Amino acid sequence: MIPKKVLLDTNFLLVPYQFKLDIFTKIEEMLEVPHSFVVPTGVVGELEKLSKGKGKEGAAARFGLKLLRFREHEMVESSGNVDNWIVEYAKEKGLMVATNDRALRVKLKKKRVKVISLLSRSKVGVV
């Protein structure tokens, strides 16, 4: 069985705080195959920028950064527009992408990249 790699987008790392949902466990339950997580440096940069903000979005970003400190993942250097980079990298490397960004999902689907998304307040799935 080939291990899967799942690339985590910025807004998917906001989900645990926003919906009190363990995205890592939910992805594990859904995939049922060995997998690992990949996080581009651009996503970390976006989280750091958002984390300086006030309110729920800032708190969600700070929580997302904290999760990354405690969860094993592969950090990959990214450059330029984060969404465009994700589309090209995921296509090239054959990765699945976890995102709730509607515009990014459309771009990924056009490139035939599998997308994991929040289906409801408590469920994730491939869309």
Secondary structure of 54-73 as H, E, C letters: CHHHHHHHHHHHHHHHHCCC
Sign of CA dihedral 70, 74, 79, 83: negative
Give the other-Cβ count within 10 Å of 114's Cβ.
16
Kindly list the averaged pLDDT for each block of 10 residues, start to end, along the chain of length 127: 84 95 91 90 97 96 95 94 97 95 96 93 82
What pLDDT shows up at residue 91?
Answer: 96
Contacts of 81 (CB under 8 A, 6+ apart): none
Q: pLDDT value at position 51?
A: 97
Q: Spell out the domain ranges in the chain.
A: 4-126
- State the pTM of this model: 0.93
The CATH homologous superfamily of the domain defined by 4-126: 5'-nuclease (3.40.50.1010)
pLDDT given at position 2: 58
